[in-house]
């Protein structure tokens, strides 16, 4: 039994915003733009977008305060703008951080109380979520396609929220907007997409043929593109491949979510400022090897077109992922490992894991 549900209109192409500009005019006359400090300007989205908004006399407010791993505070600050503005829709521009924040603000801003802790208490909070238009400037999180928003609470813990109302209404994919990503951001975001593709398929295990096809295509494109990238960084074909691979991987996790690999990486991002894609990648092979001990076929299916774990491991080694080491204390390792033992994702991840295994994961990446 399987289902497929992605209620996001996806438009892809160079200059797609101006091609489809009349669509932007169909959401109302007052837009809230949510973005990071630089990405909207640097990528060229803001220039293109403001021309269109001005042409159609759509009023706009730019909230450009979103940090990496967006916090509850930031989302509440964005939501508070609704007390003074009558927004009709939200345009989220950037990587996963601004898009996740934009989604959460589109929900919390329309709720009577702008308290992000309420996300965990009531589904009512999503009832009046404004339409969200997502314009990605990284190729990694897939947030432009998913029903998730990953936020950081005041205890510095990453908390994912999920609702069908958080699916963007429209996603505009223009590969030109990702050409300003440097080599290291291109790799870390590309690896996030790779982990989505494989983690989602680990859970699917071929049952949903649409998801299997998307995972296979996405992993194939990332495998083919994410080597020797220095020469390719300004190539539109390269950027288009990664952007499409990331979107496909986003569809995969929209159906199956991620695994304990993502959960293990969260504290590295929250407490050690490690890029999200790198935080997943440092544990990737070890967790897959562990799952392989009991479910080898499942792992071999999920990593296709890689034919063996060794081939996938070599791919990560070529990207120097094995070189990442971090200052971790005994207390941090103990605490984070205990949290993984009770994590919801653990129950949904195939394979057998215990406290000692999680501790060994963190010990391996210790300086
Ligand atoms: P990000 O955190 O949005 O951005 C990382 C950095 O890249 C920022 O410094 C950003 O600048 C910069 N940047 C973005 N676009 C750029 C461009 N075109 N040129 C140059 N620099 C650019 O990165 P991300 O990896 O896309 O997103 C990670 C977040 O997404 C994490 O919080 C993660 O938990 C979340 N996530 C969400 C989902 C989901 O389904 N919702 C899935 C996976 C991950 P600015 O600061 O100026 O923006
Ligand atoms: Fe991710």
Q: In the prediction, which pLDDT does 122 show?
A: 86
Q: At 332, is the pLDDT very low, low, confident or very high (cuts 50, 70, 90)?
A: very high
| Mean local confidence (pLDDT), 173-200 | 98
Rounded Cα–Cα distance for residues 367 and 162 (Å): 35
Ligand 1: residue of 35, 37, 39 to mutate (most ligand atoms within 8 A of CB) is: 39
User: Is residue 4 situated within a structural domain?
Assistant: no
For 15, half-sphere exposure in the C-beta direction (CA atoms, 13 angstrom radius) is 3
**Distance of CA 141 from the midpoint of ligand 2 (Å):** 5
pLDDT in tens, 81-126: 999 999 999 999 999 999 999 999 999 999 999 999 999 898 999 9
User: Is residue 335 situated within a structural domain?
Assistant: yes
**Distance of CA 336 from the midpoint of ligand 1 (Å):** 24
Please list the residues that pair with 150 across neighbouring strands: 160
Of 161, 148, 166, 172, nearest to 250 by C-alpha is 148
User: Is residue 280 situated within a structural domain?
Assistant: yes
Ligand 1 lining (C-beta closer than 6 Å): 36-39, 42-43, 68-69, 94-98, 100, 137-138, 140-143, 146, 148-150, 177-178, 180-181, 185, 189, 192, 276-277
Q: In the prediction, which pLDDT does 245 show?
A: 98
**Distance of CA 39 from the midpoint of ligand 1 (Å):** 9
Of 7, 9, 30, 29, nearest to 109 by C-alpha is 30
69, 218: one domain: no
348, 238: one domain: yes
Q: In the prediction, which pLDDT does 43 show?
A: 97
pLDDT in tens, 7-36: 999 999 999 999 999 999 999 999 999 999
Closest residue by CA, ligand 1 atom 4: 95
335, 192: one domain: yes
Ligand 1: residue of 138, 171, 190, 246 to mutate (most ligand atoms within 8 A of CB) is: 138
Residue at a domain's end among 111, 145, 178 = 178
Q: At 169, is the pLDDT very low, low, confident or very high (cuts 50, 70, 90)?
A: very high
**Distance of CA 261 from the midpoint of ligand 1 (Å):** 18
Q: In the prediction, which pLDDT does 324 show?
A: 97
**Distance of CA 207 from the midpoint of ligand 1 (Å):** 31
Reading the block at residue 294, the tokens are: 């009991």
**Distance of CA 253 from the midpoint of ligand 1 (Å):** 17
**Distance of CA 145 from the midpoint of ligand 1 (Å):** 14
| Mean local confidence (pLDDT), 204-214 | 98
Q: In the prediction, which pLDDT does 99 show?
A: 98
Q: In the prediction, which pLDDT does 346 show?
A: 82
| Mean local confidence (pLDDT), 152-165 | 96
360, 271: one domain: yes
**Distance of CA 243 from the midpoint of ligand 1 (Å):** 13
**Distance of CA 189 from the midpoint of ligand 2 (Å):** 8
User: Is residue 309 situated within a structural domain?
Assistant: yes
310, 228: one domain: yes
Ligand number with the minimum distance to the CA of 199: 2
Instruction: Name, in order, each residue with C-beta under 8 angstroms of 232's C-beta and a sequence gap of 6 or more.
Output: 225, 238
Ligand number with the minimum distance to the CA of 67: 1
Closest residue by CA, ligand 1 atom 25: 189
The number of the ligand 1 atom at minimal distance from the alpha carbon of 35 is: 48
User: Is residue 2 situated within a structural domain?
Assistant: no
96, 155: one domain: yes
153 burial via Cβ count (<10 Å: 0-12, 13-18, 19+): middle
Distance from CA of residue 102 to its chain's centroid?
Answer: 13
Residue 73 has pLDDT above 90, yes or no: yes
Ligand 1: residue of 47, 69, 141, 161 to mutate (most ligand atoms within 8 A of CB) is: 141
83, 34: one domain: yes
| Mean local confidence (pLDDT), 158-181 | 97
Q: At 348, is the pLDDT very low, low, confident or very high (cuts 50, 70, 90)?
A: confident
Instruction: Name, in order, each residue with C-beta under 8 angstroms of 237's C-beta and a sequence gap of 6 or more.
Output: none
| Mean local confidence (pLDDT), 290-311 | 97
Q: In the prediction, which pLDDT does 365 show?
A: 97
Reading the block at residue 109, the tokens are: 């801003």
| Mean local confidence (pLDDT), 188-197 | 98
With contact defined as beta carbons under 8 Å apart, do 114 and 107 qualify?
no
Residue 191 has pLDDT above 90, yes or no: yes
Ligand number with the minimum distance to the CA of 197: 2
**Distance of CA 247 from the midpoint of ligand 2 (Å):** 12
pLDDT in tens, 236-280: 999 999 999 999 999 999 999 999 999 999 999 999 999 999 999
CATH number of the domain at 243, please: 1.20.1090.10
Q: At 317, is the pLDDT very low, low, confident or very high (cuts 50, 70, 90)?
A: very high
Residue at a domain's end among 114, 146, 178 = 178
Residue at a domain's end among 131, 147, 178 = 178
Instruction: Name, in order, each residue with C-beta under 8 angstroms of 191's C-beta and a sequence gap of 6 or more.
Output: 140, 222, 226, 277, 278, 280, 281, 319, 321
Domain total for the chain? 2
Reading the block at residue 194, the tokens are: 């790779």
User: Is residue 115 situated within a structural domain?
Assistant: yes
CATH number of the domain at 89, please: 3.40.50.1970
Inter-CA distances, 217 with 235, 301, 324, Å: 20, 13, 28
Residue 230 has pLDDT above 90, yes or no: no
The number of the ligand 1 atom at minimal distance from the alpha carbon of 277 is: 25
Closest residue by CA, ligand 1 atom 22: 39
Ligand number with the minimum distance to the CA of 152: 1
Q: In the prediction, which pLDDT does 98 show?
A: 98
User: Is residue 62 situated within a structural domain?
Assistant: yes
71, 87: one domain: yes
172, 193: one domain: no
Q: In the prediction, which pLDDT does 266 show?
A: 96
203, 153: one domain: no
* pTM of the predicted model over 0.95: yes
Rounded Cα–Cα distance for residues 167 and 149 (Å): 10
Residue 277: phi and psi, rounded to 5, are -65, -35
Q: At 347, is the pLDDT very low, low, confident or very high (cuts 50, 70, 90)?
A: confident
User: Mean pLDDT across the chain, nearest whole number?
Assistant: 97
337, 252: one domain: yes
146, 237: one domain: no
What domain range is 263 assigned to? 183-364
Closest residue by CA, ligand 1 atom 48: 36
Residue 313 has pLDDT above 90, yes or no: yes
User: Is residue 3 situated within a structural domain?
Assistant: no
């Amino acid at each position: 039994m399987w289902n497929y549900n992605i209620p996001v209109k996806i438009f892809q192409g160079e200059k797609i915003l101006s091609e489809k500009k009349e669509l932007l005019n169909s959401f109302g006359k007052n837009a809230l733009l949510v973005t990071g400090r630089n990405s909207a300007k640097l990528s060229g989205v803001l220039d293109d977008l403001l021309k269109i908004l001005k042409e159609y006399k759509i009023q706009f407010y730019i909230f450009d305060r979103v940090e990496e791993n967006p916090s509850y505070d930031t989302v509440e600050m964005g939501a508070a703008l609704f007390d003074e503005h009558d927004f009709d829709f939200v345009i989220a521009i950037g990587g996963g951080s601004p898009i996740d924040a934009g989604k959460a603000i589109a929900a919390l801003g329309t709720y009577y109380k702008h308290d992000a802790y309420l996300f965990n208490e009531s589904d009512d909070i999503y009832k009046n979520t404004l339409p969200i238009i997502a314009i990605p400037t990284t190729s990694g999180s897939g947030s432009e396609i998913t029903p998730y928003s990953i936020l950081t609470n005041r205890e510095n813990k990453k908390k994912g929220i999920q609702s069908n109302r958080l699916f963007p209404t429209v996603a505009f994919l223009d590969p030109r907007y990702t050409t300003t990503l440097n080599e290291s951001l291109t790799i870390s975001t590309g690896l996030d997409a790779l982990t989505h593709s494989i983690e989602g398929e680990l859970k699917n295990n071929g049952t949903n043929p649409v998801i299997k096809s998307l995972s296979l295509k996405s992993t194939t494109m990332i495998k083919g593109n994410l080597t020797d990238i220095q020469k390719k960084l300004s190539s539109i074909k390269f950027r288009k491949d990664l952007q499409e691979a990331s979107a496909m991987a986003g569809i995969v996790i929209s159906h199956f979510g991620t695994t304990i690999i993502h959960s293990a990486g969260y504290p590295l991002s929250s407490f050690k400022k490690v890029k999200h894609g790198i935080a997943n990648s440092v544990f990737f092979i070890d967790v897959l090897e562990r799952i392989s001990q009991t479910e080898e076929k499942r792992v071999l299916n999920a990593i296709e077109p890689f034919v063996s774990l060794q081939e996938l491991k070599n791919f990560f080694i070529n990207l120097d992922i094995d070189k990442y080491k971090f200052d971790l204390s005994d207390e941090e390792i103990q605490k984070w490992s205990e949290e993984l033992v009770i994590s919801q994702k653990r129950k949904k991840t195939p394979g057998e894991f215990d406290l000692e295994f999680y501790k060994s994961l963190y010990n391996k990446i210790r300086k």
